[in-house]
Each structure stands twice: as C-alpha cells, then as structure tokens.
C-alpha cells in the first residue's frame, strides 16, 4: 500500500479526539504538501508569465570583466524561490527572517526551535504550515526512510578511512536506481508532469538522508549498529537517535535549529547552484543533489566550519582556555601575518553579522553560557572585526555561520569533525530539492551561460 493510501486509510480510522488535537487548523485534515503544490503551481505559472511579460526585457545590471574573472561575484543571473540573501539584512526564507522563522514555525512538544519539516513546507509553498501539516510531513518522511538493501551494503563496504562526505555522495548517487522521475521520463511523461515525480524523489531523498548519515557515522566511528526509525518522532529526533545523541533533548533541539538555518542560502552558493545546474539537464533529484554534495565537500564551502573549530582549538592549545583579550588579539594578528585568513569571518554577500551566527549564539547563551569554547568564540567575536578592519583584510569583518557551529557540536560530544559536512549536507537538501521541484513545475530550461576566453576579452576592448 502506498503512503498516500495508508494515510487515507488512517484518516478514516482516526478518533474524533485526535482531530481535536488540531482544532486550531481550518479543517480536521488540511491538504498534504503535494496536494497543496497541485493547487499552487498553476497560479505560480501564471505569475511567472506575468512577471516575464512585464519585466522580461529589463536588465538586472551590468556585468564587468572583473566579475567574470572573480568567480561571477555579484552577477545577477539565477531564479531561486526559497530564499533571498540581502547584504545588510541577511537571509530571508520566503520573506521571513530567521527570528521570524523561529517565532512562526511549529515546534516539537518540549522543544523551542522550529521543526525543519515546517521550514521545508515554507520553502516549497511560501506558506507557514499548521502543526497538523508538519506532523504529516514527519510521518511521511519516517514512512519513506528505509534504504534499499544494496545501498546499505554499498555504505557498509566503504572503508572507514573513506571520508564520510565521499560515502554520503556515493549513497545518494546510488538512490538514483529507484528514481520515479527517471522512470517517468523514460516512459515519455509530459513535461507538465515532471514536477510530480521530482516531488516524489525529493521526498524520498530527504526521508532517507538520516539513515544514510547515521549508517556512515556508526560505521566510521562506532560499531555499525543502528536503531530503527521511530514513526512517532520528528525528523531531527530520528536523526539524533541514529547518531547516538537522541537521549539529549538539547542536542535534538540543536539539530532542529542547525538543519533550519543551514537549509538554504539563496541560489548562488556552490551547493545550491550545482544542484540547480545539474537538475537543469533533467538529471533526477538524487543525481542533482549528489553533485551538490561534491561541491559542499570543498574547503571553501562546507568544510569551513571544521577549519574554524581547528583554528579555535589551536588557539586554546597555544594561549589557554581562558585567555585575555590581549592574548586573543595577538594570536589573531599572528594568523594574519603568517599569510592565513581568520576562518569563519567574512562572506561573499553579507556585510553584517550573519543572522545564522546570531541564532547559534543565542542558543549557546541559553544552554551553555559557561562553556570555555563558547566563551572564546564570544571573545573572538568582540575582537576580530576591529582587527580585520585595521588590517584592511575584509569588506565584511563580521562572523558567518561557520564561526559558531563547530563549538556547539563539540560541546554535545559530536567531536568527529570530518562528519560535520555530512550534517550540513542533510540540511542543504531542503533548499536544493525545494527549488528543483519548482524548476520542473515552471519548466526552467537547460542552464547554459556564455563564456569568453582571455584573448577574446582583449580583442573585445581593443581600441576602446
């Protein structure tokens, strides 16, 4: 029996008392995410047509030669529905700031941080979900969580010396074996229907990531034995159980916050853009997201939080766990004078303290205010921006998300730094696949920008 059929059968059997649990919702059973998308897509297609008709021949702005050589920084050339990053204001998920997301999205009983299920609903629909809708997503992902046997065996055959992120990418690629989109495309489905199987693959992908991540973690760092997915728990609680931290309620709440704030950061970052680019070739969500993971694995992207933690730990080893401000400043200057950067500071777009950093700092102030690692991160936050401004090393001297996350994970006992990028990958799936669904719904074309050689650039401006 399919999940939808099972759900409908369950609906018929539920007692009135269960329905009263969600009495605040408009109806006893609100539409599922896929049902809501079916309602929204025709309206959004018309909206996009209207925008293109009204503004299609207008320019975003000029592109300079320096931008072409400088990694396309600042070039406006992508459509990304889930989030927009403002240089001064920070990230907004469908128009909501991180504090607004924390305030408006449903939380788990006894928890204080937003459930990632709610964030995914928001990214996909632009709407704040009800508690019932979030609970339905939790149940659907738990029902879809089982891995194909051959994928389990594939992970188990990986040597524990193979980087966890490489194992993660291998496993996600292998899920392509059962892709509903690939099968439908092969059978000649109409392009208007592409989004439906893209949605199904995306739901399967997100649902299976905790089992993949947990299996890798237990194989590399433990005895290889995993608990089963608990159908009554939310996504982050199941992920925490699989990692062996489910008994710590603060850690579970941290995972809810971590996944939420790492989920999406508009479309131009390497992992998001890669998923969009590969998906534009009509590669299924598994292949598209595996490509995203390979980009996220780079030291200039997802590995940055490891570099921050290692730098902080080296500082502690050199000057002690309770250094003076002068000692910290001297260590920062020594880092800069040795030709290195201060990791975790600066951002390609942001020109203020990253709101994701602030959210983690507030979590730490609530739960671990006296931790030496957190205190040192706070000291660094107070000292580094002024030094970077004095040294002229950064347009943005403020901390980004990576400046804080490693210290929080370490505090709760997750000190296996090579695994941190896997957690980032689990989170980033939410943003990548929500956009893939809309790419297929809106019929977005194959991405193919124009490129020039250096010689062509020289000829273009000769005599001008």
Residue 26: band (very low, low, confident or very high) from pLDDT cuts 50, 70, 90: very low
Which of 274, 281, 271 lies closest to 182, judged by CA? Answer: 281
Of the ranges 6-15, 18-27, 216-225, the best mean pLDDT one: 216-225
User: Phi-psi category of 49—alpha, beta or left, where left has phi over 0 and alpha has psi -120 to 50?
Assistant: alpha
Q: What is the DSSP string of 264-305?
A: ---S-SHHHHHHHHHHTTT--HHHHHHHHHHHHTSTTTTTHH
Architecture of domain 82-447: Orthogonal Bundle (1.10)
In whole angstroms, give the CA distance from residue 180 to residue 199.
9
Residue 29: band (very low, low, confident or very high) from pLDDT cuts 50, 70, 90: low
| Beta-ladder partners of 86 | 90
In whole angstroms, give the CA distance from residue 393 to residue 388.
5
The per-residue pLDDT for range 45-64, each reduced to its tens digit, is 999 999 999 999 999 888 99
CA distances from 366 to 250, 285, 405 (A): 10, 38, 15
396 or 411, greater pLDDT = 411
Residue 19: pLDDT over 50 = no
Residue 179: pLDDT over 50 = yes
Looking at residues 52-80, what average pLDDT do you find? 91
- 248 DSSP 8-state letter: -
Residue 350: band (very low, low, confident or very high) from pLDDT cuts 50, 70, 90: confident
What residues have CB less than 8 Å from 379, skipping those under 6 apart?
Answer: 323, 325, 328
pLDDT attached to residue 14: 37
Query: For residue 409, how many other CB atoms are within 10 A of its CB?
Result: 23
The per-residue pLDDT for range 132-174, each reduced to its tens digit, is 999 999 999 999 999 999 999 999 999 999 999 999 999 999 9
In whole angstroms, give the CA distance from residue 232 to residue 463.
71
Backbone Cα Rg of the chain: 23
In whole angstroms, give the CA distance from residue 350 to residue 346.
8
Whole-model pTM? 0.91
In whole angstroms, give the CA distance from residue 31 to residue 458.
58
Which of 266, 260, 263, 233 lies closest to 363, judged by CA? Answer: 260
* Six token digits for residue 209: 């990531």
Looking at residues 224-247, what average pLDDT do you find? 97
Do 242 and 227 contact (CB within 8 A), yes or no? Answer: yes
The CB-side HSE value for 180 (13 A sphere, CA atoms) comes to: 13
Which of 206, 211, 361, 214 lies closest to 289, judged by CA? Answer: 206
| The residue to which tokens 């204080």 are assigned | 112
- 148 DSSP 8-state letter: P
Query: For residue 454, how many other CB atoms are within 10 A of its CB?
Result: 10
What own/partner pairs with CB < 8 Å and gap ≥ 24 does 335-339 have? 335/311, 336/387, 336/391, 336/393
- 464 DSSP 8-state letter: -
Percent of the chain with pLDDT over 90: 80
In whole angstroms, give the CA distance from residue 273 to residue 447.
10
Q: For 220, list phi and psi in degrees, rounded to 5.
A: -80, -40
Q: For 331, list phi and psi in degrees, rounded to 5.
A: -70, -40
Residue 92: pLDDT over 90 = yes
In whole angstroms, give the CA distance from residue 275 to residue 286.
10
pLDDT attached to residue 17: 32
Kindly report the CA angle at 118 between 80 and 303, in degrees rounded to 5?
60
pLDDT attached to residue 338: 93
The per-residue pLDDT for range 362-409, each reduced to its tens digit, is 999 999 999 999 999 999 999 999 999 998 866 788 898 988 999 999
Which of 428, 418, 422, 3 lies closest to 171, judged by CA? Answer: 422
Looking at residues 425-441, what average pLDDT do you find? 98
Residue 177: pLDDT over 70 = yes
Kindly report the CA angle at 165 between 107 and 253, in degrees rounded to 5?
15
Helices (H), 77-193: 98-104, 116-125, 131-144, 149-157, 164-174, 180-186
Looking at residues 425-445, what average pLDDT do you find? 98
In whole angstroms, give the CA distance from residue 191 to residue 440.
8
Residue 10: pLDDT over 70 = no
The per-residue pLDDT for range 253-263, each reduced to its tens digit, is 999 999 999 99
The per-residue pLDDT for range 387-399, each reduced to its tens digit, is 999 988 667 888 9
Residue 305: band (very low, low, confident or very high) from pLDDT cuts 50, 70, 90: confident
| The residue to which tokens 């000769």 are assigned | 462
Residue 15: pLDDT over 60 = no
pLDDT attached to residue 13: 43
Q: Going by DSSP bridges, is the β-strand pair 90-93/83-86 parallel, antiparallel, or unpaired?
A: antiparallel
Looking at residues 429-446, what average pLDDT do you find? 98
pLDDT attached to residue 16: 33
Percent of the chain with pLDDT over 70: 93
Looking at residues 94-103, what average pLDDT do you find? 96
SS3 content of the chain, % helix, strand, coil (to 5): 60, 5, 35
Instruction: Give the residue numbers marked as catalytic.
Output: 301, 347, 402
In whole angstroms, give the CA distance from residue 102 to residue 257.
9
Looking at residues 7-28, what average pLDDT do you find? 38
Helix (H, G, I), strand (E, B) or coil at 37: helix
Do 160 and 72 contact (CB within 8 A), yes or no? Answer: no
Residue 90: pLDDT over 80 = yes
């Amino acid at each position: 029996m399919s999940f939808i059929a099972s759900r409908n059968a369950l609906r018929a059997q539920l007692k009135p008392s269960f329905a009263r649990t969600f009495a605040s919702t408009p109806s006893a059973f609100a539409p599922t995410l896929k049902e809501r998308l079916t309602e929204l897509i025709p309206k959004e297609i018309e909206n996009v047509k209207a925008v293109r008709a009204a503004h299609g021949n207008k320019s975003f702005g000029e592109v300079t030669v320096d931008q072409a050589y400088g990694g396309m920084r600042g070039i406006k050339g992508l459509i990304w529905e889930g989030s927009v990053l403002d240089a001064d204001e920070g990230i907004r998920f469908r128009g909501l700031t991180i504090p607004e997301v924390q305030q408006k999205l449903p939380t788990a009983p006894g928890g204080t941080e937003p459930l990632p299920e709610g964030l995914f609903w928001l990214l996909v629909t632009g709407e704040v979900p009800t508690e019932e809708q979030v609970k339905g997503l939790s149940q659907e992902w738990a029902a879809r969580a089982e891995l194909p046997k051959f994928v389990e065996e594939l992970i188990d055959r990986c040597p524990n010396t193979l980087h966890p992120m490489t194992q993660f990418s291998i496993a996600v690629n292998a899920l392509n074996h059962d892709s509903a989109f690939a099968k439908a495309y092969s059978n000649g489905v109409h392009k208007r229907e592409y989004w439906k199987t893209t949605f199904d693959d995306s739901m399967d992908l997100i649902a299976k990531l905790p089992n993949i991540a947990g299996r890798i973690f237990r194989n590399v760092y433990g005895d290889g034995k995993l608990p089963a997915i608990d159908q009554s728990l939310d996504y982050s609680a199941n992920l925490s159980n699989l990692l062996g931290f489910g008994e710590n309620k603060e850690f579970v709440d941290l995972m809810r916050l971590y996944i939420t704030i790492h989920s999406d950061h508009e479309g131009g970052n390497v992992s998001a853009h890669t998923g969009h680019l590969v998906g534009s070739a009509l590669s299924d969500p598994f292949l598209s997201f595996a490509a995203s993971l390979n980009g996220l694995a780079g030291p200039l992207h997802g590995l940055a939080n490891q570099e921050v933690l290692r730098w902080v730990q080296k500082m502690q080893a050199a000057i002690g766990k309770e250094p003076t401000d002068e000692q910290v400043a001297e260590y920062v200057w020594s880092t800069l004078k040795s030709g290195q950067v201060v990791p975790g500071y600066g951002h390609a777009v942001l020109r203020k303290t990253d709101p994701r950093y602030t959210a983690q700092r507030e979590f730490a102030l609530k739960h671990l205010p006296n931790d030496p690692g957190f205190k040192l991160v706070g000291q660094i936050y107070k000292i580094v921006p002024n030094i970077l401004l004095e040294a002229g090393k950064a347009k943005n001297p403020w901390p980004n998300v990576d400046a804080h996350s490693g210290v929080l994970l370490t505090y709760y006992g997750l000190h296996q730094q090579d695994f941190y990028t896997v957690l980032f990958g689990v989170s980033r799936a939410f943003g990548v696949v929500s956009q893939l669904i809309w790419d297929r719904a809106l019929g977005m074309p194959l991405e193919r920008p124009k490129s020039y050689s250096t010689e062509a650039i020289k000829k273009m401006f000769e005599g001008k």
